[in-house]
């Protein structure tokens, strides 16, 4: 049942190349320059009239929402707000019939997300679900939606659900960009073909298994860990930290790299491992200066970089290489070694990887 792996989590990490393909199959037509998604196409007016998009979710799904915020705003130029479902539902939010609310949930059963949907519906918003479990409560409660097609996710720590959620959300952003003409033709086509190549590149990113295992053996006894990223990779830092907390019980925090100097930098000493997500696009130079700041305070640097990077390699204690892709799609690759790193650390610490203490796969109570 675990397909030869020791844990469901590992099986699910390794399934990502194939499930991402399942997610875009029949929807992404790179050669024709088309995205076909029934849930969007059937409701295209609601999306084209949307003055803003609200995204509600919890946990890892909320992190996928944050990645989507960057992608939607960049591709489709629609203002996006991402909210924890639990906060949204209890603060008398301002919503109207011009809003589109996207609820993201692997299980489709998360109580707070479900309640946020009901509230948004009462206020007239159009509610779209991005769920994995077919026929789940959230998929039934929403006006329309798109399934992630990741297949059953058994490990409590979400892995393949996250990358397939980002895949669906990226396709929606591209569909809306096409509708609104907000991306240049060449960028639009480039993203489509880059997305099509992501499964192969995820496969290549999985080859970081050995190096992450070796890094895990060095840091398995750490008491704290910091994760830093900027732009599209800031939410990846949050997700990397959540993964480590959940399954290894090491205290970890994710931060936007530039925020470090506003507080967390005080934590840095030779005991502090800092995972920096530094692919070679976007804010690369800025991240390099952040790495220098950590180094000059003797922090230990574990950097996730683009294959062939030399500049960060010269500064970091460890580098993990992932293939090159466009900046907006890089979270689909940079996430992979972070999943593997937390997996190996948890295994080395003797933790119950698939069923960490105090956690349940779906949180059906508020
Ligand atoms: O099923 P959902 O996506 O609604 O679940 C949301 C969170 O409970 C979930 O992502 C949780 O944070 C995971 N344990 C993360 O690994």
Model pLDDT for residues 46-56, shown as the tens digit of each residue: 999 999 999 99
Q: Is the pLDDT of residue 72 over 90?
A: yes
Question: Which mutation among 12, 59, 136 tests ligand 1's pocket best, with the greatest number of atoms within 8 A of CB?
Answer: 59
Q: How far is the CA of 246 from the centre of ligand 1 (A)?
A: 11
What is the mean pLDDT of the segment spanning 152-181? 97
* Cβ 9 under 6 angstroms from ligand 1: no
pLDDT at position 273 is 97
Helix, strand or coil, per DSSP, at residue 278: strand
Q: What residues are labeled active site?
A: 361
Pairing of strands 34-35, 251-256: unpaired
Task: Calculate how far, in angstroms, residue 106's C-alpha sits from the geometric centre of ligand 1.
Answer: 7
Asked whether the predicted pLDDT for residue 165 surpasses 90, the reply is: yes
Quick one: average pLDDT of 310-338?
97
The rounded distance, in Å, linking the Cα atoms of 248 and 194 is 34
In Å, how far are 294, 335, 350 from 224, measured between CA atoms?
15, 19, 17
pLDDT, tens digit, for every residue of 216-243?
Answer: 999 999 999 999 999 999 999 999 999 9
Tell me what pLDDT residue 365 has: 86
Residues ≥6 apart with Cβ < 8 Å to 293? 260, 261, 265
Q: What is the pLDDT of residue 190?
A: 98
Q: Is residue 106 scored above 90 in pLDDT?
A: yes
Residue range 262-271: mean pLDDT, rounded: 93
Contact between 135 and 152 under an 8 Å Cβ cutoff? The reply is no
Q: Is 240 in the pocket of ligand 1 (CB under 6 A)?
A: no
Give the integer Cα–Cα distance in Å for 75 and 86: 28
**Complex-level ipTM beyond the 0.85 threshold:** yes
Q: Looking at residues 350-360, what average pLDDT do you find? A: 94
Average confidence score pLDDT of the chain: 96
> Does 362 have pLDDT greater than 90?
no
Local confidence band at 366 (pLDDT 50, 70, 90 cut-offs): confident
């Amino acid at each position: 049942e675990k397909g030869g792996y020791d844990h469901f989590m590992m099986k699910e990490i390794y399934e990502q190349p194939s499930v991402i393909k399942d997610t875009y199959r029949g929807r992404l037509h790179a050669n024709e320059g088309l995205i076909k998604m029934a849930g969007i196409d059937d409701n295209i007016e609601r999306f084209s009239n949307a003055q803003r998009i609200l995204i509600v979710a919890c946990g890892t799904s909320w992190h996928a929402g944050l990645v989507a915020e960057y992608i939607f705003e960049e591709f489709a130029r629609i203002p996006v707000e991402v909210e924890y479902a639990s906060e949204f539902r209890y603060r008398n939010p301002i919503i109207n019939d011009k809003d589109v609310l996207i609820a993201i949930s692997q299980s489709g059963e998360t109580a707070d997300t479900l309640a946020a949907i009901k509230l948004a519906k009462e206020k007239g918003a159009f509610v779209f679900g991005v769920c994995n479990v077919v026929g789940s409560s959230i998929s039934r409660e929403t006006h329309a939606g798109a399934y992630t097609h990741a297949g059953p996710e058994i490990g409590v720590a979400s892995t393949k659900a996250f990358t397939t959620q980002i895949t669906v959300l990226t396709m929606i952003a591209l569909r809306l960009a096409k509708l609104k003409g907000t991306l240049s033709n060449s960028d639009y086509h480039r993203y489509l073909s880059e997305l099509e190549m992501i499964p192969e590149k995820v496969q290549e990113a999985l080859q970081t298994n050995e190096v992450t295992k070796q890094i895990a053996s060095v840091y398995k006894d750490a008491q704290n860990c910091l994760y830093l990223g900027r732009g599209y990779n800031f939410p990846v830092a949050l997700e990397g930290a959540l993964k480590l907390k959940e399954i290894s019980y090491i205290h970890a925090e994710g931060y936007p790299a530039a925020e470090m100097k506003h507080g967390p930098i005080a934590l840095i000493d030779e005991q502090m491992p800092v995972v920096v997500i530094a692919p070679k696009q976007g804010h690369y130079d800025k991240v390099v200066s952040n790495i220098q700041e950590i180094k000059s305070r003797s922090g230990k640097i574990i950097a996730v970089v683009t294959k062939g990077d030399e500049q960060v390699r010269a500064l970091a204690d460890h580098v993990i290489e992932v293939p090159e892709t466009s900046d907006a799609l890089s979270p689909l690759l940079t996430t992979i070694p972070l999943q593997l790193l937390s997996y190996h650390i948890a295994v080395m610490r003797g933790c119950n990887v698939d069923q960490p203490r105090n956690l349940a796969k779906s949180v059906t109570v508020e």
